[in-house]
């Protein structure tokens, strides 16, 4: 994997390192074995095009699942027992 960032845009240090690991997004979506980059200095995380495509593909799936859940909860509450 090519290192796309040599200098960290966040802190300006040359501390960008390639990482391959499960990546946990803020909303709990996990992208398994994702290749991405992290600054060893300020811990900022960066993604290349391939990583972005994997995230978008996985998030597209998770959005469809969560939207089904959102629809199911109100309809069951609306119906009187
Ligand atoms: Zn940094």
pLDDT tens digit sequence for 70-81 = 544 444 455 555
In angstroms, what is the span from residue 29 Cα to ligand 1's centroid?
A: 24
Domain ranges within the chain, ordered by starting residue: 16-75
**73 sits in which H/E element:** helix 49-78
Interval 11-27: pLDDT, tens: 999 999 999 999 998 88
Specify the pLDDT at position 68: 52
CA torsion through residues 10, 40, 25, 22, sign: positive
Measured in degrees and rounded to the nearest 5, phi and psi for residue 53 equal: -65, -40
Cβ-based neighbour number of residue 43 at 10 Å: 11
Q: Tell how far the Cα of 18 is from the centroid of ligand 1, in angstroms.
A: 13
57 pLDDT above the threshold of 70: yes
Q: Which residue has the higher pLDDT, 41 or 67?
A: 41
Q: How far apart are CA 17 and CA 36, in angstroms?
A: 8
For the chain, the average pLDDT equals: 80
Q: Are 35 and 51 in contact, with CB atoms under 8 Å apart?
A: yes
């Amino acid at each position: 994997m090519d290192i796309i960032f040599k200098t960290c845009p966040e802190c300006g240090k040359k501390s960008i390192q390639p990482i391959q690991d499960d990546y946990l997004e803020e909303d709990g979506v996990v992208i398994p074995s994702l290749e991405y980059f992290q600054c060893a200095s300020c811990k900022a995380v960066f993604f290349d095009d391939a990583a972005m495509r994997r995230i978008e593909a996985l998030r597209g799936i998770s959005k469809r699942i969560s939207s089904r859940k959102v629809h199911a909860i109100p309809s069951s509450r609306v119906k009187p027992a």
